[in-house]
Structure 1
Amino acid sequence: MAVKPLGERLVIKMVEAEEKTKSGIVLPGSAKEKPQMAEILAIGAGITSDEKKKDEVKVGDKVIFSKFAGTEVKIDGEELIVIKLADVLAVIE
């Protein structure tokens, strides 16, 4: 099933968190902090139709977003988040 966000919204999928610290300590699942990094899967028409905003993000970009942003949904067994463009803080290059 395809998800098409409306307006200035994005559909993102979380990027997996690191399982080890820099010093090599393996973290159990309960100790991991939820990452704020995700990959963009779909972009709403409100972004693609705006000349200024359409170059800011594109499908496939990895982004950092606000900690409590968006609505989590589960579609076809996959956990996705729908967020507003304003909740994207940075694009990782």
Structure 2
Amino acid sequence: MAKKILPLLDRILVEKIVAPKKSVGGVLLPESASASKVNSGKVIATGPGGRAKDGTPIPMTVKEGDTVLLPEFGGTEVKIGEKELFIYRNDDVLGILVE
């Protein structure tokens, strides 16, 4: 059983951010509110980047620790222990969320 995944080329490993089941005040949220689509995640690891057709390196646009906006569908699910992680291509990321 693998303990760590290192993405290759222009791929990133993301842990999706789960919507809270309680509000800040401690009120339980209904299933329909907390089961909303998860479209953001935290970057756990990145590959070294891709290569253009002429061989020049293409750097990654995200880095470890970034919170990113993800497409509604896509990604490859990977399970490491109890964690559900997803692998996306760098091009699939829609944006970086900044606080």
TM-score normalized by the length of structure 2: 0.75
Question: Does 2:69 align with 1:64?
Answer: yes
Task: Please tell me whether the aligned partners of residues 15 and 85 of structure 2 are also in contact (alpha carbons under 8 angstroms).
Answer: yes
| Partner amino acid, structure 2, of 1:46 | G
| Structure 2: gaps spanning 5 or more residues | 51-55
- 1:30 deviation in Å? 8.7
Instruction: Provide TM-score, normalisation by structure 1.
Output: 0.79
Aligned twin of 2:29: 26
Q: Taking every aligned residue pair, what percent have the same amino acid on both sides?
A: 30
Shift in alpha-carbon separation, 1:25–1:38, aligned structure 2, 3 A: same
Please show how residues 6-85 of structure 1 align to structure 2 within 5 Å.
6-19=8-21, 26-28=29-31, 32-46=35-49, 50=57, 53-54=59-60, 56-85=61-90
- How many pairs were matched up? 88
Q: RMSD of aligned C-alpha atoms?
A: 2.5
Q: Which amino acid aligns with 1:36?
A: N
Q: Which has the larger radius of gyration?
A: 2
Residues 1:4 and 2:6 aligned together: yes
Q: 1:29 to 1:77 in 2, by over 3 A?
A: farther
**Unmatched segments (≥5 aa) in structure 1:** none
